[in-house]
Amino acid sequence: MQKVVVQTFSEQDKDWFSQVAVGTRLEVQFLDHFDSRFHSEMVGYRFGRYVIIRFEDGNFPQHEGVAGMVAICRFLIEDSLGECFAFKTEIVNMMRRPDRLLFLDFPKEIHRRALREKKRQLAHVRATIRMLGENGLRGQPFDGIVQDISPGGCRFQFDESHTGRKVNLLPVIITLLSKDGSVDREVPGKVRNSRYQDNLLSIGIQFDELNPDFEQTA
Q: Residue 26's pLDDT is what?
A: 87
- Same fold for the domain at 4-114 and the one at 121-216? no
Tell me the C-alpha distance between 91 and 68, whole Å: 5
Share of the chain above pLDDT 90, in %: 22
> Which one of 115-119, 188-192, 194-198, 207-211 scores highest in mean pLDDT?
188-192
Residue 14, pLDDT > 90, answer: no
Residue 155, pLDDT > 80, answer: yes
Taking residues 182-209, report their average pLDDT. 87
Tell me the CATH class for 121-216.
mainly beta
Q: Residue 56's pLDDT is what?
A: 77
The full set of domain ranges for the chain reads 4-114, 121-216
H or E stretch at 51: strand 50-55
* Mean pLDDT, rounded, of the chain: 81
Alpha-carbon distances, residue 200 vs 23, 30, 51, 145, 163 (angstroms): 13, 31, 25, 12, 9
Q: Which superfamily is assigned to 4-114 in CATH?
A: Electron Transport, Fmn-binding Protein; Chain A (2.30.110.10)
Tell me the C-alpha distance between 41 and 22, whole Å: 8
Tell me the C-alpha distance between 200 and 46, whole Å: 27
Taking residues 139-144, report their average pLDDT. 91
> Which one of 18-27, 110-119, 170-179 scores highest in mean pLDDT?
170-179
Pick the residue with more confidence: 156 or 36? 156
Alpha-carbon distances, residue 135 vs 104, 120, 132, 139, 189 (angstroms): 48, 31, 8, 12, 15
Taking residues 54-80, report their average pLDDT. 75
Residue 180, pLDDT > 90, answer: no
